[in-house]
Structure 1
Amino acid sequence: MMKKIRTLLFCLLLFFVLIASLPLILPLNSYKPQLEKRLSSLLQAQVQLETVAFSYQPWPVFTLNNVKIDGDAGKIEQISVPVNLFNVFQRGNSLKNVTVAGVKLRPALAFTLPKRFAALEQDRITLGDVALSKASVLLEQGELGPIDGVIRFTKNGTMDDLQLADEQGRLDVHIKPKGDNIGVIVQASSWELPLGYPVVFEKLYMSGEGSPEGLLIDDIRGEAYGGVLSGKAQLTRQTNWDLQGQLVAKGVHSEPLSKIFSPATFVSGRMDAEAQFIFRAADYLKLFAQPQIDANFLVRDGSIHNMDLVAQLRAGETPAGRGGQTRFDTLKGKMRIRDHAVQLQSMALGAGKFNAQGAVQIAGGRLNGSVSGRLQAGVLLIANQIRLSGELSKPALNSGSVARTGVQPPAPVDIEPIQ
């Protein structure tokens, strides 16, 4: 028994001595042509390596540096293959713990990766999980990324799943082969979707199918501001990038949502809404810079804050209308967003004996509009046309970015009768 243990220890010692001596006894770069030929065959592409090296990080590892795939179609800063017992005894037929850093791929190459990995099965080469770091998709202008992830393979060597996640752990993306295309599942929590305004989703789930021509998202489900959302969307690329879709919202708390557009004069209550959106730009990075949104909304049992329309009708003079609240049973209308201006049209407010109709625009930090109010008090009927105007703190536009701007203290809204 002791003899077997000593033999095993001796073999292990010999193995580590051999590993430590590899940089001295192997002219690694002399193997570069064979490696390029082998990788080109496996990936069905022209692969070029700058150098092949050996180092300790702190464990022994072979690295392939500055890998080019089909010219500028794909670039990889470094592929690292650890020299461990499993990889050595498998003699290259199976590899584990491979890491790939600094990946930059053109969309056409990225979409064909599942088929290219299928060639591994023909050569009976299997891979364990491959860790990705700083992976990006190169666009005509700029890039999408970088992001970290893991590629998982089936036992026969074909690609099973690509998982991507952000550093904060709020975004989780799974990409799977689906015939000639790819299946995409996105799950997010406490995530600010770059839709032109900083709308935060507590939970968001999206699934769809992608191809070199675009992405069809046929299932959107989410939770935001205490309500639930559902919808569909489609991203296409022809002359311009084009994202179109629909969202339906139920039971949303309107106060935090309306404060995004107007921090001073906002609406509380529970809102249902149906929205159509279009985002279009020549540059993907500017896709969300000019939102085009059309929505129908209905808010129940709420208030308009910093605006007292009833007091204005009763007083008949401007000072009485500044500040305060306007309670309502229902508030419905249409919202239209163009060029970072929010237009509220065909609005109708109902509050028992008081009702009002009107339209408002919020743009450049100002609120402007007019309302026709009507108050029935017994045999007394009060009606008037009221003009609304005032300076507001500017809404926090994100223009496709996730950065927020500061919110200033609210300013009063001027309310005056139109003579």
Structure 2
Amino acid sequence: MMKKTRTLLFCLLLFFVVIACLPLILPLNNYKPQLEKRLSSLLQAQVSLETVEFSYQPWPVFTLNNVKIDGEAGKIEQISVPLSLFNVLQHGKSLKNVTVAGVKLKPALAFTLPKRFAALEQDRITLGDVVLTKASVILDQGELGPIDGVIRFAKNGAMDDLQLADKQGHLDVHIKPKGDNIGVTVQASSWELPLGYPVVFERLYLSGEGSPEGLLIDDIRGETYGGVLSGKAQLTRQTDWNLQGQLLAKGIHTEPLSKIFSPATFVSGRMDAEVQFVYSAADYLKLFAHPQLDASFLLRDGAIHNMDLVAQLRAGETPAGRGGQTRFDTLKGKMLIRDRSVQLQGMALGAGKFNAQGAVQIAAGRINGSVSGRLQAGVLAIANQIRLSGDLSKPALNSGNAARTGEQPPATSVNELLQ
């Protein structure tokens, strides 16, 4: 038993001595033409590499440096293959723990990778998980990335799944071969979408199919602010990037959502909404900088906080300072966003004997519009029409006019209505 143990230790020692001497024994760069030919055959592309090196990191590793695929279609800074006992004994027919760093691929090449990896199956080559670091897709303007991930392969060598995830664990993306295209699923939790405002989704799920022409997202489901979302979207790119789609929202708790846009004057209640959206830009990094949204919404059993419209009607003038609230049974209307211009149209508030209508536009820090209210108190009806105009960065808005049925029209004003 002792003799066998010593023999095993001697073999292991000899193995590591050979590995340590490999850089001196083998002129590795002499094998570069054979490696280029082999990789070109496997990936069905013209592959070239700058150097082949051997190093310790701290374990022995072979590294292929500055690999190019079909000229400028794809670039890889390093492909590292550990010289483990498993990899050596498999004689190149099976490799594990391969790391690929600094990947830059053009979209046309990226979408053909599943088919190119299928050649591995024909040559009976299998791979374990391949770790990707600093992977990017090269675009006409800039890059999409970098991001880290893992490529997993099936037992027959075909690509099975590409998983991408953020370091915080909030985002998980899976990309799988799907015929000539790819299937994409995205799952996110406690995730803030890059829409210019800190809107957070408790849960978000998207699935669709990608091709060189774009991405069709046929299933969107989410949970945000106590409500649920569903919808569809499509991302295309010809001259510009274009994202358009529809969302249906149910039971959204509007108080935390509206405070994102106006922490002083906000709205509470539960909201249902239908949203049509379009984003377009030449640079994908600026895709959400120019929104176009059309939304129809209905709020139930809520209040407009820090604004008391009923008190203004009864007093015929704006009370000193701000405060109070306007409760409502329903509040509905349409919101149109065009770049940095916001229009609220067809606004209708119903609260028993009190109702109000209005339309306003906010652009370049200024507001223009009008609001009218009506309170039925027995046989007496009080009506008030208020014009709004002014600079939202200043503490007051210009006053308008008012009228009461059967009485002289009293003067009224609105101070800091939307501040």
TM category (shorter chain) comes to over 0.9
| Counterpart amino acid of residue 176 in structure 1 | K
Contact kept? 2:311, 2:319, Cα under 8 Å: no
| 1:328-407 aligned within 5 A | 328-389=328-389, 392=392
Identity %: 86
| 1:79-94 aligned within 5 A | 79-94=79-94
Q: Which moved more, 1:232-241 or 1:105-114?
A: 232-241
DSSP-derived class of the 2:323 partner: strand
Residue of structure 2 in register with 1:21 after alignment? 21
1:417 paired with 2:401, answer yes
Alpha-carbon deviation of 1:415? 6.5
1:66 paired with 2:66, answer yes
Alpha-carbon displacement from aligned partner over 1:222-258 (angstroms, at most 9, x marks no partner): 0111111000000111222111100001111112222
DSSP-derived class of the 2:189 partner: strand
| Counterpart amino acid of residue 137 in structure 2 | V
Alpha-carbon displacement from aligned partner over 1:304-348 (angstroms, at most 9, x marks no partner): 122211111111123458432111111000010002122111010
Structure 2: distance between partners of 1:322 and 1:391: 17
Structure 2: distance between partners of 1:99 and 1:76: 11
Alpha-carbon deviation of 1:195? 2.7
Alpha-carbon deviation of 1:49? 0.5
Residue of structure 1 in register with 2:417 after alignment? none
DSSP-derived class of the 1:112 partner: helix
Contact kept? 1:345, 1:360, Cα under 8 Å: yes
Q: Which moved more, 1:359-368 or 1:173-182?
A: 359-368
Q: Cα 1:129–1:155, aligned 2, differ >3 Å: closer, same or farther?
A: same
| Counterpart amino acid of residue 298 in structure 1 | L
Residue of structure 2 in register with 1:215 after alignment? 215
Alpha-carbon deviation of 1:349? 0.1
| Counterpart amino acid of residue 313 in structure 2 | L
1:75 paired with 2:68, answer no
Residue of structure 2 in register with 1:230 after alignment? 230
DSSP-derived class of the 1:259 partner: helix
Alpha-carbon deviation of 1:360? 2.1
- Tell me how many residue pairs correspond in the alignment: 403
Alpha-carbon displacement from aligned partner over 1:82-128 (angstroms, at most 9, x marks no partner): 00010000010000000000101000000000000000011110000
Q: Which moved more, 1:306-315 or 1:203-212?
A: 306-315
Residue of structure 1 in register with 2:35 after alignment? 35
DSSP-derived class of the 1:417 partner: coil
Contact kept? 2:36, 2:47, Cα under 8 Å: yes
Over aligned residue pairs, what C-alpha RMSD do you find?
A: 1.7
Structure 2: distance between partners of 1:261 and 1:340: 13
Structure 2: distance between partners of 1:154 and 1:94: 12
Alpha-carbon deviation of 1:166? 1.3
Residue of structure 2 in register with 1:195 after alignment? 195
Structure 1: distance between partners of 2:148 and 2:23: 30
Contact kept? 1:196, 1:290, Cα under 8 Å: no
Residue segments in structure 2 that go unaligned for 5+ positions in a row: 403-410, 412-419
Contact kept? 2:204, 2:223, Cα under 8 Å: yes
Contact kept? 2:254, 2:268, Cα under 8 Å: yes
Alpha-carbon displacement from aligned partner over 1:24-49 (angstroms, at most 9, x marks no partner): 11111111111111001100011111
DSSP-derived class of the 1:248 partner: strand
Alpha-carbon deviation of 1:23? 1.4
Residue of structure 1 in register with 2:273 after alignment? 273
